[in-house]
Amino acid sequence: MGGAYCITHAVLRSPTGRLDASSQAGAPAGGGERAEGSDPVPPARFGFIISKAVGNAVTRNLVRRRMKSVVERRIRSGIRGVDVVFRALPAAAGAPFSELEREMNRALDRVERELVAGEQR
């Protein structure tokens, strides 16, 4: 999923902590075993890729902090069972926070729709 400021990669995870079969990968994502009585849906995990093409260290860290802020707000909404990686594009350096937030929320909405569709299969 891509936009003007970032590209989003998402992998659905199964309750066992392994990558979902539909993700075309067979390696374990987390390892370990689930404790008795724990929630069967693993928490969402997020990562950020901000290359040097985005700008100098100060600019890259600003973009990372902005992206992290958007994700922290969305975690409260209860997104679970997915690994999401955002890859910032150079245009993200000059983007207003509101536009970056709108684009990332649109991508996360799509990920959540795919989660729901995957659960209904």
- Taking only the tens place, the pLDDT of each residue in 19-56 is 444 444 444 444 555 455 566 778 889 999 999 999 99
Q: What is the mean pLDDT of residues 3-20?
A: 70
State pTM to two decimals.
Answer: 0.72
Q: What is the mean pLDDT of residues 74-89?
A: 86
Q: Which domains does the chain have, with CATH numbers?
A: 6-13+42-120 (3.30.230.10)
Q: What is the pLDDT of residue 15?
A: 57
Q: Give the range with max mean pLDDT: 1-10, 32-41, 55-64.
A: 55-64
Q: What is the pLDDT of residue 11?
A: 83
Give 8's pLDDT tier (boundaries 50, 70, 90): confident
13-17's contacts with Cβ under 8 Å and 24+ in sequence apart are 13/42, 13/81, 13/82, 13/83, 14/81, 15/40, 15/41, 15/42, 15/81, 17/42
